[in-house]
Amino acid sequence: MKVASRNLSLTKAGSESDSAIYLGAIMAPYPALSDDALCIDAESWLKLRPDAAAIPVVDSENSPIGIISRTHFQIKYLQLYGRDIYRHRSVSVMMDHTPFTADYFDSVAQVSTLFERNRNHLIENGILVTQEGLYCGFVSGLALLKSALAEVKLTKKQLEQAQQALIQREKMAYLGSLVAGVAHEVNTPIGIAVTAASTLQDEAAKLVDLLRAGQLKRSLLTHFSELVSDSTALIHANLSRANEIIRNFKSIAVDQTSNELRTFELGEYCQQLLDSMKPTLCHYPQPVRLNSPHQPIVVTTSPSAISQIITNLVLNALEHAFDSESGSEQSRHGSVEITLFETKGSIHLICQDSGKGIEEAIIGNIFDPFFTTLRHRGGSGLGLHIVYNLVTDVLHGEIAVESNSALGGTRFTIIFPI
């Protein structure tokens, strides 16, 4: 029996990605039968290799010229008188003369696609792998199928990994946006506390000077004690607010569920909040009013979420709804109103301004992170995104926005369960 074989030193080249399985990696390095072999040689060849699905056949140049399928051979050769008829005849009588050939470095994916198209032919005949047209090994249809399947699994795993990485990236981006939001929120109370502390420091220094000079009068002392009391109250309120924001940030960032809940009266809480915002609100000509019912609205929820939501909505109205520079009628007589009421186990919190409204073209984007029309003035576009998350995730409620000429401004309606 003549057997052709060839040792090739193969190095992977080409543009296939490293993760793709290529034929060389799943090839069985069976020796091929030469074209002058007889059927009896083919019988011995198959006996020696019980796993082989087919026998590759090559010419004297080692070029693949055919393939003998085991099933086809067995049916013809092992039938009655088959062995007697064929044993001394050339293997070419059993051969498929159009063997499928592929390159050592062709990817399983590439070949599987061809496989799909000519399924029957290829499954029966297996694949001869050639490089530069020469035989170097054999790949059965089954081996190809198996590795195509493995590759699909690998791709699925890679997809899952990529998805995880994406989720992680989104989480990090969300965390980043929260940090920016906190910096933004904390800025005002800290600024107010710093101003109040430095005023106190200046006045105390003046007091000491007067005391040393023996010019301290009772009226000055009274004035100073009032200042101390007002300033420390202001410092305390604003540092507590900053502290609350940071605590809220931590609870949202670390664990949404640990957002501290408290039972409190909503109207009173909102009034305290607006009072604590007075140092900021006084910079705007438009008044901010609270309409709350006489009956108390007792809620058990996260107070810091409520204060963050109201702060953002009120400041947005003051910053975006009125053209402060134009001094228009609408701007001068504008106002912002917070309305609270309770219906059938739900709280309605409405923030309405009488400003210029929000254009229809952008109203659908205002809750998107980083969407702002005031980037040139330092807007981060995170305010309403944070509001949206707080309403849905912390209050378990819903938020809607309306803005049209009939309304004469913008109205945010938040409804959440008690």
Ligand X SMILES: Nc1ncnc2c1ncn2[C@@H]1O[C@H](COP(=O)(O)OP(=O)(O)OP(=O)(O)O)[C@@H](O)[C@H]1O
Name the residues that contact ligand X, by CB under 6 A.
184, 312, 316-317, 320-321, 353, 355, 358, 366, 371-374, 379-385, 410
191 binds, among ligand X, Mg ion, none (CB under 5 to 8 A by kind): none
Closest contact distance (angstroms) between CB of 405 and Mg ion is 23
Closest contact distance (angstroms) between CB of 183 and ligand X is 10
Binding mask 342-381 for Mg ion (x = CB under 5 A): ----------------------------------------
Residue 303 CA to residue 109 CA, distance in Å, equals 57
Number of other residues whose CB lies within 10 A of the CB of residue 94: 20
321 binds, among ligand X, Mg ion, none (CB under 5 to 8 A by kind): ligand X
**Number of residues this chain uses to bind Mg ion (CB under 5 A):** 2
Which of 114, 122, 117 shows the shortest CA–CA distance to 142?
A: 122
Q: Enumerate residues 6+ apart whose C-beta is below 8 A from 229.
A: none
Q: Which is nearer to ligand X, 130 or 372 (CB)?
A: 372
Closest contact distance (angstroms) between CB of 368 and ligand X is 8
> Is residue 140 packed enough to be buried (19+ CB in 10 Å), middle (13-18) or exposed (0-12)?
buried
Exposure string over 18-56, b if 16+ CB within 10 A, otherwise e: eebbbbbebbbebbbbbbebbbbbbbebbeeeeebbbbb
Q: What are phi and psi of 382, to 5 degrees?
A: -105, -15
Query: Residue 376 has what DSSP assignment?
Result: G
Q: Which is nearer to ligand X, 267 or 383 (CB)?
A: 383
Q: Which is nearer to Mg ion, 329 or 359 (CB)?
A: 359
Number of other residues whose CB lies within 10 A of the CB of residue 324: 14
Closest contact distance (angstroms) between CB of 417 and ligand X is 25
Beta strand ranges found along 16-63 (DSSP E)? 32-34, 54-58
Closest contact distance (angstroms) between CB of 310 and ligand X is 13
373 binds, among Mg ion, ligand X, none (CB under 5 to 8 A by kind): ligand X
CB of 341 closer than 8 Å to CB of 408: no
Q: Which is nearer to ligand X, 97 or 283 (CB)?
A: 283
Q: Which is nearer to Mg ion, 107 or 316 (CB)?
A: 316
Going from the C-alpha of 108 to that of each of 41, 59, 285, 335, the distances in angstroms are 31, 26, 72, 69
374 binds, among ligand X, Mg ion, none (CB under 5 to 8 A by kind): ligand X
Residue 21 CA to residue 9 CA, distance in Å, equals 18
Q: Residue 197, Cα to own-chain centre: how many angstroms?
A: 43
131 binds, among ligand X, Mg ion, none (CB under 5 to 8 A by kind): none
355 binds, among Mg ion, ligand X, none (CB under 5 to 8 A by kind): ligand X
Binding mask 283-322 for Mg ion (x = CB under 5 A): ---------------------------------x------
Residue with tokens 């940030």: 249
380 binds, among Mg ion, ligand X, none (CB under 5 to 8 A by kind): ligand X
Q: Which is nearer to Mg ion, 188 or 316 (CB)?
A: 316
Number of other residues whose CB lies within 10 A of the CB of residue 262: 12
Residue 349 CA to residue 273 CA, distance in Å, equals 14
Q: Which is nearer to Mg ion, 69 or 312 (CB)?
A: 312
State which residue has the least CB distance to ligand X. 383
Going from the C-alpha of 75 to that of each of 12, 70, 142, the distances in angstroms are 39, 9, 20
Closest contact distance (angstroms) between CB of 312 and ligand X is 6
Q: Which is nearer to Mg ion, 145 or 180 (CB)?
A: 180
- Which of 383, 386, 399, 416 contacts Mg ion by CB under 5 A? 383
Closest contact distance (angstroms) between CB of 346 and ligand X is 23
Report the interface residues with Mg ion, using CB under 5 A. Answer: 316, 383
